[in-house]
Structures are given as structure tokens and as C-alpha cells.
Structure 1
Amino acid sequence: MAAKITDDAIVKYLEEQQIYIKLQKAMEALAIHKPDNPCGFLKDYFDPTKESCKATHRVIVLGPPCSGKSTMCKCLSEKLSARLICAERSNQTLGSTEVIESVRTQLQQCSNDSWILDDFPSSELEAFSLRISPDCLPTVVIDLQLPLETVLSRAKTEAERDQLKKRYDVYKINRPAYFKVFEYCIRVIDCTDLSLQDIEARVMAIITGAGTLKTSSNEVLPRGPAIIDEKAEKIAYTMSRAPNTRPAIESVN
């Protein structure tokens, strides 16, 4: 007798192995490339030795000071084999033309590759500057959250504490602009009481379900509305528990 899709063992297997996510991504790849030989295309798509049609990840990590942004960016760069791009600020102020042009040039140079962007954007102007070119648009933006008390507790001197407070305030002021610019792909993680390993697991789960790219135009294809409810993001998003939040394709206008 054939197994029913509703059998608990089958459902558990499909969730643990992320079968639905993998099949949906494969169908999206078919819709993007429209190959003459779809079966051959899918064979190559699921072959781990083939590099064609593999996901391209463009990730921005945001958050207040001391939230582990740079550490997470380095980790993601290694895990995803993605280029790590850092904003070279030196004495430049936030939103300076030189910093913006430097970052955009680096992003455009690796338009066909995966990249991780660190320390950018740090202002409303920098965030909006990424919308000028499709090469600069991320597939997912991770917003790491920590309460002010936790950030200040990591200061060693009173001067450092004051500096962290100023940086934290600047981030909070600019945060609404980040949500406006990246509303299609921003996700929030409450990092309070989480280990680096826990945060990494949640970030990877989010990235796995992030948008793909339309290769002909480098256009980001969002996979449905972003979840930006901080309370909801406290759920342990492991690779097997990350919910499928995408709308049915029939409901997309």
C-alpha cells in the first residue's frame, strides 16, 4: 500500500529534509531559466558537483554595536563561499559619497556571485543608495537585536560606554529606514541569551528560504512577505523547524 502524505513519519521526513523548500526552489529555477530539457536541467540542479543554477546569496547583516555583526559576516562568508565586502570608512562620516561609491563598486564587481556586506548600510542615505542598481540589492537582510543594557554592559570604561550609547541611538534612529528599504527581505533575530551557534543556526535557516535571483537581469525574486515581528523571531528557527511563510503562487498578483 502506498504511503499517505499525511502519515506522521512521512511528514516528519519531509520537514527534516526540507523537501518542500528544495522542490519549490527547483521549480522557481525552472521558471527562471525555462530550459528546453527540464528533466536534464533538474538532474544538474540537484547534482552537488554542478555549479550551474545554484543559489546566489546576497546578505546584509544589521544590528546595534556589540551584536556580533562582523563575526557573523565572516562566518557566513566561509559557509556560503561568498565574497566578504566591508565598508572602508576610516575617518569618513556615515553616508559619505566616497564610502557609498566604494561599496557599490565592489558589489557591482561581483554581481554574479554571492556576497556578504559588513558595516553597511549605517545610515538612511546608505540604505537608499543600494536601490539605485539591481546588482546592489540583497536577497536577505538579517537584523540582529540586543537591548541597550546588554550592549552597555560590554563597555570597559565610561568613555566606551558613552560611545556605545551614541552608536546605539544612531542605529535606532536609522532602523525604520532599513525596514522601509528592505521590507521585502528583512528578518529580525532577538539575540538576547543566544549563543553564537544558536544565532548562526537561525541565520542559516533564514538564508535557506530567502529570495532567489533572476539571472537575466539580476533581479531579486522575493519568496513572499518578510517576517519582521520580533516576538515571532524568538522561535528557534532550526533547519527543520523554519516555517514556510511564502504565499501560494496562485495568490501572488
Structure 2
Amino acid sequence: MAEAAEEEPARLWPPPVGAYAEERGLFPLLQKMLEELLIHKPDDPIEFMINHLKQNNDDAPRICVLGPPASGKTTVAMWLCKHFDATRISQETLLLEETLALTEEAKAYKEKNQKIPNALWANLIQERLSNVDCIKQGWILEGFPENQEQAWMLQSFGIFPRHVVMLYASDTVLIERSSGKRLDPLTQEVYHTTFNWPSDPVVQQRLEVPPDLSEQEVSRRLLEYHRSFPELFQIYQKVLKSINADQPSVDVLSQVLTFVQTRPRSAAPFTPRLLLCGPSGSGKRLQAALIAQKYGVVNICCGQLLKEAVAENTKLGELIKPYIENGWPVPDNLVLELLAKRLSCLDCLTDGWVLCGFPRDVEQAELLQSSRINPNRVFFFNLPYESIMERLSQRRTDPVTGQRYHTTFRPAPTPEIQARLRQNPRDQEENIEKRLETYFRNLKDLEDFYEDAFYVNADQDPYVVFEFIESCIIKPLPCKKNRHL
């Protein structure tokens, strides 16, 4: 039996399996479930996984906002909670949670002006995070963990933030900020006499100066924070981003949001399926060639694919031929049949592909989707009208050698070649304008269809454009649509 088993050939997964798993997020899901099993070590792993799938929302935010006193942790945490509809958890909110079993014990320490033990804080946080709102909607931990011991305790409970925001500013700035802080005892919202003063007179009247904001107390807390910071940084460095809090709050919040919307790199297999959209002259073909050359994906230009089908005299090519010869648009069903056949070939399924030239409108995009041709990265190339005209209208071709030149960027090397150059009728201004009018008429609907697309400034050095596209290929998709260069 052992010999027979050894002789049995290894089973290979068919190529579409990887695409199926990627589209449905199976690899991250299985990784997360395995992590939960190793942390909690349940007696019945199957039942535990079933309950995990029923209860947990693995896409919900799990964020820690850390920083020294007066760095703006509360402002950032509250803003994130409103943005994600998540639950904010801080010292103040925990001490107000009367339903928690350990709240009274923590309050007793507070009333005696004694330091609340790390273990008590950690247990309070664990109890609060086990509530349904935190599981379903996610959570923002403000000011926790405060030190290494708390961080280790939270990890032992299986509490791992996906993102840790570390705010920083000079001590001078922080001490000055502290003097202007005011607290709303009713809502626990923090305001500032200079940066964030409420417009409601009723709120203004009830604001109080927090009791522990003397310069000496703030200096003491800053010193304590600086002692704990290196250890926290070491623990969370793989999921941590330091953000300068000494800048306008709008800029701070923008940087925080960009960071917390990033996803960690995954070890799961990834097959690139790239779609490049853009007007004529935006450089789609060049970028497709660069991508194919570096990553070994199959470069598919829709126009070239149609010409090859005609040249090879295939049955489909014979149907396409009259349209090509007469300059008519090839019907969508023929283009789609040709594309589907090519993209289902083994090299496309295993190595991936980069496609340009199709779709040109939302109807064609819907046809692609109905044929299960789904790109996992879509790029829209943006280029000003003047740049498009300059790139295309000045193109010339040498009828003898077939070489292509440009009167500005790549002029002919000799007067003899210059004299025999010809312009393709497609590159005449009136024909360029017709193509652009068609492209921009359909652009908005196409952008709405591919709402998670990246937008590329194509009016710059081609290798700068390539570096941006490359960064989007190798990094996981952020959690937000309309990402820009």
C-alpha cells in the first residue's frame, strides 16, 4: 500500500481554483480561522470554527490609537468611529460601562487615586470587546495598550489590532496643547480653546478643565509614555505607523485614514489579471508591455488579437475579417468570444494577463463580467486633451522601414527619411477628436462600474507610471475605492 501511494502522481489544482479562492477571500479567511484556533485551543475545533464564521466580521476595523498626552488620540479615535461606525473604547468609556463585571473594581482604584493594575485594564478590555457591537462593527482602542505588559496580556486573550496609529509631537507642543483642553462631562468629548471650540453655547457653558492637566502632571505622564514607547513600538512595528500630530487636524486624519484602509500582505497565491483603460495616446500598450516583460504575464491587446485571428484564417477570424477590412466596429459578441477563448488558455490562467483595448463602455464591461472575466486590478489612465493631441497628431511612419517617429519626441534621423514620412489617417486631428469624444462619453459609466479602480497620471515619465502600477500590483487592495497616483 505504501509503495502504491508513493507511485500515485501528485494531484495538481486546476488553474481556476486560485482565482475562485482569491475572489472570495478564502485564503485570508482560512488564515484567520487557523490563528483563532491556535490562540483559543478549543476542545471542539469544528464547532469553534462554525461559531466564528457565524459571529465574527473579519472585515471590521480593529485599530489602536496611541500617543502621548494631548497628541489628539481622542479626536482621531472619535473620528474613526464615526467614519467606520465602530465602537470607541478608552479609559473613560470603560469606567462608564456599568454592565461590565469589573467596572466597579476599577472605579474603586480611581476613587482612591490609585493606579489601576494592567491586568484589570486588560480584563476589562477583553470583556468589552467580546460584546456583539465590537465583534460586528469593529473597535477603536484609544490609549490602549499603555505599556508592554498590557500589550502582552491583550495578545494572550487573542486581541490583535490590524492597525496601530502612533501619534507624536514635541513635548513643548504637547504641554502647550494640554493647557487649552476642555472636557464635556455629559458626552466625554474633548474640545480645545484654540483648535476645536464648540459652536453650541450650551456645550460651551458646561465644559470643564480636566483635573490632571497641570504642567507638572503632563510632564510626568509624558515621561512615563516615553519610557513605554520603545517596547510598544517593538511589539506592533509590523502593523504600526507613526504620524506627526503637529499639523492641521485634516492632514492628520487623512494620513490616519489612508493607513487604516491598507491591508497586510498575504502569503496567498496571486495571479495578476490587469485591465488598462484610457484614451488613445495615454501609453496603455507601453505599460502593458513593461508589465508583461517584468512579471511574465500574458500581454493581450484586443486590437492585435483581432488582427491575429484574421491573419490565421480561423473560423472566428473569417467572421471578423469584413469588419476589419471595412473599418467597422467588430460586434461585441465576436470580440468577447475571441477574448474568452484566449483568456481561458493555460498560460493566462496560470501566469495571469494584462488586457487593454476592451472594454470601451459599460455594456462591454458587463459582458466581460457575465463571462466570468474579472480583473483584479483596473487602472484608468488620465491625460490632458492637449497632451493627447500632441502625442498622436505628430506621429509619423516610414513606409520603407515601418519605423515610427514623432516630430517632437523622436524626429527622423536624416532629411531623406524625414521627406518620406507619412501620417496614418487615424492620427489626423479630426479622427483623434472622434475617438476621444467616444471615450469620454462612456468614461463615467465605466468608472462607476469599476469602482475600485486606480487612477494614473499618464502625463509623466513612463517609468514613473510603471512604478506606480507595479506598487498597486504587489500590494493588497486598500479598503476604499478610487485610489489615485
TM-score by length of 2: 0.33
* Aligned twin of 2:65: 61
Whole-Å separation in 2 of the counterparts to 1:28 and 1:68: 38
Whole-Å separation in 1 of the counterparts to 2:267 and 2:163: 9
* Aligned twin of 1:208: 261
> Match of 1:183, SS?
helix
CA RMSD of aligned residues (A): 3.5
* Aligned twin of 1:117: 141
* Aligned twin of 2:223: 169
Q: Which amino acid aligns with 2:126?
A: R
Q: Which amino acid aligns with 1:133?
A: F
Q: Where in structure 2 are the equivalents of 1:25-64 lying within 5 Å?
A: 27=23, 29-33=25-29, 55-64=59-68
Q: Which has the higher contact order (CA 8 A, sep 6+)?
A: 1
* Aligned twin of 2:194: none
Q: Deviations over 1:23-55 (max 9, x none)?
A: xxx758243358xxxxxxxxxxxxxxxxx9882
Distance 1:58 1:33, change over 3 A: closer
Whole-Å separation in 1 of the counterparts to 2:81 and 2:177: 26
Q: Do 2:72 and 2:245's aligned partners in 1 also have CA atoms closer than 8 Å?
A: no
How far is 1:222 from its partner?
A: 9.4
Q: Do 2:70 and 2:178's aligned partners in 1 also have CA atoms closer than 8 Å?
A: no
Alignment partner of 1:195 is 2:248: yes
How far is 1:201 from its partner?
A: 0.5
How far is 1:156 from its partner?
A: 3.8
Whole-Å separation in 2 of the counterparts to 1:107 and 1:222: 28
Q: Do 2:68 and 2:222's aligned partners in 1 also have CA atoms closer than 8 Å?
A: yes
Alignment partner of 1:72 is 2:51: no
Q: Do 1:95 and 1:123's aligned partners in 2 also have CA atoms closer than 8 Å?
A: no
Whole-Å separation in 2 of the counterparts to 1:198 and 1:74: 16
How far is 1:208 from its partner?
A: 0.8
Q: Do 1:58 and 1:140's aligned partners in 2 also have CA atoms closer than 8 Å?
A: yes
Q: Do 2:119 and 2:153's aligned partners in 1 also have CA atoms closer than 8 Å?
A: no
Q: Which amino acid aligns with 1:72?
A: V
Alignment partner of 1:105 is 2:127: yes
Flag the structure with higher helix content: 2
% identical equivalent positions: 19
> Match of 2:242, SS?
strand
Whole-Å separation in 2 of the counterparts to 1:69 and 1:122: 13
Alignment partner of 1:149 is 2:149: no
* Aligned twin of 2:151: 127
* Aligned twin of 1:4: none
Distance 1:211 1:94, change over 3 A: farther
> Match of 1:141, SS?
strand
Extract unaligned runs of 5+ from structure 1.
1-25, 35-51, 213-220, 224-238
> Match of 1:182, SS?
helix
Extract unaligned runs of 5+ from structure 2.
1-21, 31-55, 96-105, 181-212, 269-453, 457-467, 477-485
Q: Which amino acid aligns with 2:248?
A: S
Q: Do 2:67 and 2:143's aligned partners in 1 also have CA atoms closer than 8 Å?
A: no
* Aligned twin of 1:45: none
Q: Bigger radius of gyration, 1 or 2?
A: 2
Distance 1:246 1:131, change over 3 A: farther
How far is 1:95 from its partner?
A: 3.9
TM-score by length of 1: 0.61
Q: Which amino acid aligns with 2:235?
A: V
Whole-Å separation in 2 of the counterparts to 1:173 and 1:246: 40
Distance 1:143 1:248, change over 3 A: closer
How far is 1:184 from its partner?
A: 2.0
* Aligned twin of 1:86: 90
* Aligned twin of 1:185: 239
How far is 1:124 from its partner?
A: 2.0
